């Protein structure tokens, strides 16, 4: 309900669908709560995303509400059916779930290309475009992720080079002054504090620098810093 009016039918673009889902979901949950508060009503709202994630709101205990609902539902159904319907419902639920499992398995094995012999040409086409779409989106996100990792590595590498340059300068200064470290701790103190005086974009680096084994040379330190992302 904004910029453009939209038809109320499944949004085809997956990204747009997910965005709309998260916006409208929040709106719906909010309105459910408002109704419960304003009008002193009992409200239970259960939402499953297409991907199976669960979102819920209940003005009181969800269990309680669902129990109450079940009473109403079975009461109304009893008018048409025999009274022992509750047990029947449970059975059919199981059966339905069993069917669902079978159906999902068939779909999965078709997508894996395992059980294609009963399918018409049209169904094969449908499978094909579904697989192509999925593959396309997988490659997209993979590429994106890889690009990010590369960029991140480059960034870290650049920071490390800067670090190393500074560290070498500090070393040279120390050496040229003829100083000799009394303890490793004090030397490191000097390195860090001096570096903070000169570096501008060094917050993240200085945090990482806390307490490296003094025996390591620079390249080894670089390796350690590059590791923290998988």
Partner DNA sequence: ACGTCTATTTATAAACG
Partner DNA sequence: TCGTTTATAAATAGACG
Judged by the rule CB under 7 A, the positions of this chain that interact with DNA are 1-6, 15-16, 18-20, 22-24, 26-28, 30-31, 117
- Decide: is 145 part of the binding site for a second copy (CB under 8 A): yes
DSSP string, 138-198: HHHHHHHHHHHHHHHHHHHHHHHHHHHHHHHHHHHHHHHTT---S-HHHHHHHHHHHHHHH
Minimum distance from CB of 18 to DNA (Å)?
4
Our CB check for a second copy shows the closer of 156 and 195 to be 156
| Contact status: 147 vs a second copy (CB under 8 A) | no
Q: Is there binding between residue 43 and a second copy (CB under 8 A)?
A: yes
State both tokens at 200: 């501008």
**Minimum distance from residue 160 beta carbon to a second copy (Å):** 23
Q: Is 67 a binder of a second copy (CB under 8 A)?
A: yes
Q: Verify binding: residue 78, a second copy, rule CB under 8 A.
A: no
Question: How far is it, in rounded angstroms, from Cα 44 to Cα 55?
Answer: 11
Cα–Cα distance, 169 to 204 (Å, whole number): 20
Asked if 125 touches a second copy (CB under 8 A), the answer is yes
Residue 10 or 180 having the CB closest to DNA: 10
Query: Which residues fall within 8 angstroms of residue 21, CB to CB, at 6 or more apart?
Result: 49, 50
Residue 20 or 169: which CB sits closer to a second copy? Answer: 20
Residue 109 beta carbon to a second copy: minimum distance, rounded to whole angstroms: 5
Spatial CB neighbours of 191, under 8 Å, sequence gap ≥ 6: 167, 170
């Amino acid at each position: 309900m904004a910029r453009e009016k939209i038809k109320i039918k499944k949004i085809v673009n997956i990204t747009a669908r997910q965005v709309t889902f998260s916006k409208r979901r929040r709106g719906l949950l909010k309105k459910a709560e408002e109704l419960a508060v304003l009008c002193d009503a009992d409200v239970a709202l259960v939402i499953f995303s297409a991907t199976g994630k669960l979102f819920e709101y209940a003005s009181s205990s969800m269990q309680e509400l669902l129990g109450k609902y079940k009473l109403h539902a079975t009461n109304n159904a009893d008018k048409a059916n025999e009274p022992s319907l509750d047990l029947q419902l449970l059975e059919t639920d199981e059966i339905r779930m069993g069917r669902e499992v079978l159906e999902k398995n068939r779909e999965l094995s078709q997508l894996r290309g395992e059980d294609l012999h009963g399918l018409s040409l049209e169904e094969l086409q449908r499978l094909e475009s579904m697989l192509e779409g999925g593959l396309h989106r997988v490659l997209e996100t993979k590429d994106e992720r890889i690009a990010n990792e590369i960029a991140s590595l480059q960034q870290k590498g650049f920071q490390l080079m800067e670090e190393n340059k500074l560290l070498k300068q500090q070393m040279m200064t120390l050496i040229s002054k003829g100083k000799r470290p009394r303890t490793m701790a004090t030397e490191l103190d000097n390195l860090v504090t001096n570096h903070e005086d000169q570096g501008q974009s060094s917050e993240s680096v200085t945090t990482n620098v806390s307490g490296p084994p003094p025996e390591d040379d620079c390249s080894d330190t670089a390796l350690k810093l590059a590791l923290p992302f998988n």
